[in-house]
Amino acid sequence: MKKHVLFFMLVSLLATAGLVYTSCGEDNVDLTGTTWQYGFTRAEYAAEMAAEMGISIADAEAMLIQYGVPAVIPIMEIEFTATVFSMYTIDLKEDTRTLEGTGTYTVSGSIVTLTVDGETMTGTVSGNRLTIEVDGETIILNKK
């Protein structure tokens, strides 16, 4: 009889734990106060530069390092507040950021929906990466 009672208690406990687990959905990602950057690497830029100048990639990268070009070259940033986001372009040469537009966003779990001028884009946050689909192209931004 004790075995049956223990078995019943175990089954009840597991069933309760299962209900609690399944009722707890995925928490929404909190983007408030975060900045995300899109860009390319110094190596990618060096390869492009080498092809244009007719020099080796190693020489092009050495020149970029000499001039203080960072390992990742940001060209765009997105900043999030509580419900609004702002998009900026970055000009490292001029050391400026230019506001390109603002919009609203919502978050459901790790899915982010961005709306600008009636246009909607959907993205996914995974760790320090925000992946957004724009006109069939994938843009990956890294958390700053």
Structural domains for the chain: 35-143 (2.40.128)
Amino acid at 109: G
Full DSSP string of 29-54: P--TT-EEEEEEEHHHHHHHHHHHHT
pLDDT digits (tens, 9 = 90+) for 63-84: 999 999 888 889 999 999 999 9
pLDDT digits (tens, 9 = 90+) for 1-48: 333 322 232 223 223 333 333 334 568 999 999 999 999 899 999 999
User: How does DSSP classify residue 136?
Assistant: T
Residue partners of 33: CB distance under 8 A and separation at least 6: 80, 81
Token pair, residue 48, equals 């492009």
Of 49, 105, 96, 104, residue with least CA distance to 77 = 96
Using alpha carbons only, give the angle 44, 138, 30 rounded to the nearest 5 degrees. 105
Strands (E), 65-118: 72-80, 84-91, 96-108, 111-116
pLDDT digits (tens, 9 = 90+) for 53-62: 999 999 999 9
